């Protein structure tokens, strides 16, 4: 059974810092990996999608990397801003099975202090 772990569970940084969020998964036979952002009481906003054949994806100040063989992904946020404060969730889908459903980590709660 796929298990996804995110470390740290919570992180507080001053505005302007660069930071890295970590995600690890136990089954390396993944189809893709997605990073999401969730604001309190809201749904999930997709940030980046990395296919299993890719090593990284970039969008603005965000960069996500994937090392499938070691079961790890990182989300790098450059020049953090208070508006980046949210919970960040990592999710993977397996290459086996028909559904390609996502298995999520418990998230990293990020607070960027002004």
Partner 1 sequence: GAGVSQTPSNKVTEKGKYVELRCDPISGHTALYWYRQSLGQGPEFLIYFQGTGAADDSGLPNDRFFAVRPEGSVSTLKIQRTERGDSAVYLCASSRDRGSGQFFGPGTRLTVL
Contact residues for partner 1, defined by CB under 8 A? 4, 31-32, 34, 36, 41-46, 49, 89, 91, 93, 97-107
Closest to partner 1 by CB, 14 vs 43, is 43
- Least Å distance, CB 17 to partner 1, is 25
Closest to partner 1 by CB, 81 vs 101, is 101
CA 58 and chain centroid, separation? 12
- Least Å distance, CB 24 to partner 1, is 14
Closest to partner 1 by CB, 29 vs 79, is 29
- Least Å distance, CB 95 to partner 1, is 9
């Amino acid at each position: 059974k796929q298990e996804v772990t995110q470390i740290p569970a919570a992180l507080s940084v001053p505005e302007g810092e660069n930071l890295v969020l970590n995600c690890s998964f136990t089954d390396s036979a993944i189809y893709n990996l997605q990073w999401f952002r969730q604001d309190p009481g809201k749904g999930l906003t997709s940030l980046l999608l990395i296919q299993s054949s890719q090593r990284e994806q970039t969008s603005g100040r965000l960069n996500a990397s994937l090392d499938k063989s070691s079961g790890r992904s990182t989300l790098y946020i450059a020049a953090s801003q208070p508006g980046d404060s949210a919970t960040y969730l990592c999710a993977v889908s397996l290459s086996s099975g028909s559904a390609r459903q996502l298995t999520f980590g418990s998230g990293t709660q990020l607070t960027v202090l002004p």
